Structure 1
Amino acid sequence: MNIKKKIGLEGVRFFAYHGFYPEEQILGNEFIVDIITEMDVLSDGDDELANTVNYERLFEIAALQMKKTQKLLETVAIGILNTIKEEFPSLDTIRISIRKTRLPLEGEINNSLVEFTYRK
């Protein structure tokens, strides 16, 4: 059987203190995190959490990394990705994106974005 499944979280909002500029690390900002994973279906009709990805655990991993203030969102995203990869070695693909909603820039901008994709 060669069936793939995707499991993830989209639009998870965190308030955190990431940013290159000192004022960003003082004032904080809203960040939106998406985590999408993909893996083979291990068995047809299996109803066991051990044979899938627990999205509650995905949230806990993201929340822990978001609490660690970093200058670059790339550092945060890689931390999330590497932790998920270690904890769920059966995953074929992991995609992490983080958007920052308020930017220290002139102009009308919805958000900035960093995204990483791991493929086995």
Structure 2
Amino acid sequence: MITVRLNNAEFFAYHGFYPEEQLIGGRYLIDITVTFEPQGELNDELPQTVDYQAIYTICKEEMATPRKLIETVAHAIMKRIKNGYPYITELDVILKKLNPPLGGTVAYSAVNVNYQAAKKSIGI
């Protein structure tokens, strides 16, 4: 198994339930962990792994689409990564909204969505 991580990818985006959040925007951090079984013998080529540049691009594109809930954003990122790499066995996406407008000091609010492939049973 191999694990690829993208940590603290930072974006400025316009997500939020309240209209002023969608006008003002805010800063977000994304952590992604992808575990997979290599596709054949590793030979230093991208098609045999999970390309973290492609994962970053997916995050960038999804963050550019304003949504009310960060849960929806995180789920869209997870779905696109999973569809792009069907051999993934585990996928974890954490989306943090920095300094959320909650009426007090809060470093961030966050959601975590994950996927785990069904384990293949071995017949005996």
> 2 CA distance for matches of 1:76 and 1:84?
13
- What RMSD in Å do the two structures reach over aligned CA positions? 1.1
Tell me how far apart the structure 2 counterparts of residues 95 and 20 of structure 1 sit (CA, whole Å): 24
- Decide which of 39, 55, 64 is 1:42's aligned counterpart: 39
Identity across aligned pairs (percent)? 35
Structure 2 counterpart of 1:72:
69
Q: AA paired with 1:87?
A: G
Q: 1 CA distance for matches of 2:28 and 2:83?
A: 24
SS class of match (2:12): strand
**In structure 1, what residue type is equivalent to 2:25?**
G
Aligned structure 1 segments of 4 or more residues deviating by more than 6 angstroms: none
Contact 2:32/2:93, CA 8 A, preserved across alignment = yes
Structure 1 residues 15-73: Cα deviation after superposition (integer angstroms, max 9, x where no partner): 00000000000000000011110011334542221100011000000000000000000
Whether contact under 8 Å (2:99, 2:105) holds in the other structure is no
Distance 1:13 1:25 in 2: 17
The residue identity in structure 1 corresponding to 2:34 is T
Is 1:105 the counterpart of 2:77? The answer is no
Q: Of residues 47, 52, 59 in structure 1, which corresponds to 2:49?
A: 52
Whole-angstrom CA distance in 1 between matches of 2:15 and 2:103: 19
Structure 1 pair 40/11, CA: closer, same or farther in 2 (3 Å)? same
Greater shift, 34-43 or 95-104, is seen at: 34-43
Normalised TM-score (structure 2): 0.90
Query: What TM-score, normalized by structure 1, do the two folds share?
Result: 0.92
- Select between 69-78 and 38-47 the one with higher mean Cα deviation: 38-47
**Shift of residue 107 of structure 1?**
2.5
Q: How many residues align?
A: 117
CA drift at 1:106: 2.5
Counterpart residue number, 1:116: 113
Compute the displacement of 1:8 (Å): 2.0
